[in-house]
Structure 1
């Protein structure tokens, strides 16, 4: 019979695991500096699904996991558009969601920025030309930044936010 304490005190497999993503750290530092320059505080993002297949939402939610941890860079996701600086829209705008998208945008305080994330939000994607879809977000809202991809990776989303902050600081 094996003594259970041997499992507790033996060397762990991940003990020597040293993971560091230099590109992510550089992106995050640059984003934090730009957010402080533009807003003087953290960047609040309201994510809005206007008719997507949820692949982009999965990548956006990955930004909050321990690997990316965007909170440490001053980026937070908020539940209300009244607290948001950026409206991050995913999915092609369907006819049923057009009014909700407009109302969400109108509820945001100024200055407000709109980011289209994913191919569907940028131009309609695979749903382009469908009878139930208006197209990309730019059909009904002024879009400040488009982050293409099906879906874009969390790093690509962060790169897009850095570019948005650079544009906003000019």
Structure 2
């Protein structure tokens, strides 16, 4: 992912990842320290809160789920970007679909998606979740989870690295901040 030019701005000079809108937060901090208060709309406040508190649930179906686990470990520590794992779909607002989606598993995926509260977002992780991957021509494989649930962010790779998933989470945060509540 480091060859992608859009990934470079979130890399600090020391090689560590920084929040995608760190400059925005620095300006915000300066304004609060100068004036002592902020003037904003409630919609902007809600958008900011949504980007900083993405609670995601795993729908790990294959080997991509191992890379998804790496993102929670201390090396990447996804919680510092405001994303934390949850076990229940009723507590989650992001679903990460990682791995091969079979025809028998598709109704379960849809049921879990329907149990999530609004606004809800989906990240498709890996070639198998994006389009069937290696098993694309198999009779029992769904050729992309976007045929079952609406997908907001696609993370390519087989399997994608933990950095790629972290970048996908940050892209979702940017999308929420830019668009607001994504209407379905």
TM-score calculated relative to the size of structure 2: 0.71
Deviation string, structure 1 residues 39-83 (Cα, Å, up to 9, x no partner): 16421011102x42x2x1111101111111122222111101111
Aligned counterpart for 2:50 among listed residues 39, 51, 63: 39
d(CA) in 2 for partners of 1:129 and 1:78? Answer: 33
1:93 paired with 2:101, answer: yes
Q: Is the 8 A contact 1:31 1:73 kept in 2?
A: no
Match of 1:109, SS state, is: coil
Distance 1:101 1:31, change over 3 A: farther
Partner residue, 1:126: 134
Gaps in structure 1 of 5+ consecutive residues: 1-19
Deviation string, structure 1 residues 6-45 (Cα, Å, up to 9, x no partner): xxxxxxxxxxxxxx9944432xx22786x97251642101
Match of 1:96, SS state, is: coil
Deviation string, structure 1 residues 143-170 (Cα, Å, up to 9, x no partner): 1110000111111111111111111222
Q: Is the 8 A contact 1:45 1:86 kept in 2?
A: yes
Q: Is the 8 A contact 2:101 2:142 kept in 1?
A: yes
Match of 1:158, SS state, is: helix
Distance 1:40 1:97, change over 3 A: closer
d(CA) in 1 for partners of 2:21 and 2:97? Answer: 20
TM-score calculated relative to the size of structure 1: 0.77
Partner residue, 1:9: none
Gaps in structure 2 of 5+ consecutive residues: 1-11, 26-45, 179-184
Partner residue, 2:20: 30
- RMSD across aligned C-alpha pairs, in angstroms? 2.3
Aligned counterpart for 2:163 among listed residues 150, 155, 160: 155
Partner residue, 1:16: none
Alignment of 1:3-152 (within 5 A): 22-26=14-18, 29-30=19-20, 37-39=48-50, 41-49=52-60, 51-52=61-62, 54=63, 56-152=64-160
d(CA) in 2 for partners of 1:119 and 1:42? Answer: 27
